[in-house]
Amino acid sequence: MKDIAWVIDPKNDKFEKILFRMRTFASGLLESKNIDLTFIAAPSLSVKILSMPQRKNLYLIFKEAVTNVAKYSKAKYCSVTLKNEGNNLVMEIFDNGVGFDINRSLLGNGLTGMKKSGEELNAELIISSKIDHGTLVHLFLAPL
């Protein structure tokens, strides 16, 4: 419920607000699982403005990806990178965990929800994973 209230609050339109929320969520969750986190966000993103649907869907994808790292990956390390490529936003979440067979796991609620959120953003969402080599969630949102 807190996430819904946060997403619809117009004072959270600035990207710096979502970056703070993302960093806080990831560090708290991953630290509790002894997973080292690197969180890098391009300084130029902090002044960008997000619409409520952009904020909601970006955060849902992020939250599901990080939750999956904590619950299933058995990773020792996770990196979150958010950057600009021109006017576009690129978000990458990588873990060095056990990976999974993407062809057998796409039916799960979490991955299906991430795909739906990506479609609502009109974004390109690529989830790649390799057994024993980890997982990469790559989101390309144009234009921001």
Helix (H) or strand (E) holding 60: helix 52-68
The residue segments making up the domain with residue 113 are 2-141
Query: At a CB cut-off of 8 Å and minimum separation 6, what does 21 contact?
Result: 6, 12, 59
Counting the structural domains of the chain, the total is 1
Average pLDDT for residues 35-42, to the nearest whole number? 98
| 3-state SS track over 13-54 | CEHHHHHHHHHHHHHHHHHHCCCEEEEEECHHHHHCECCHHH
**Whether pLDDT at 36 is above 70:** yes
Q: What is the pLDDT of residue 61?
A: 97
Helix (H) or strand (E) holding 92: strand 88-95
Q: What is the pLDDT of residue 1?
A: 63
Among 129, 71, 76, residue whose Cα is nearest residue 105: 129
pLDDT in tens, 55-107: 899 999 999 999 999 999 999 999 999 999 988 999 999 999 999 988 776 55
Q: What is the pLDDT of residue 47?
A: 85
Q: In this structure, are residues 64 and 120 in contact, taking their beta carbons and an 8 Å threshold?
A: no
Res. 143 pLDDT band, cuts 50 70 90: confident
Q: What is the pLDDT of residue 46?
A: 86
Q: What is the pLDDT of residue 93?
A: 98
The CATH number assigned to the domain holding 6 equals 3.30.565.10
pTM: 0.91
Length of the chain: 144
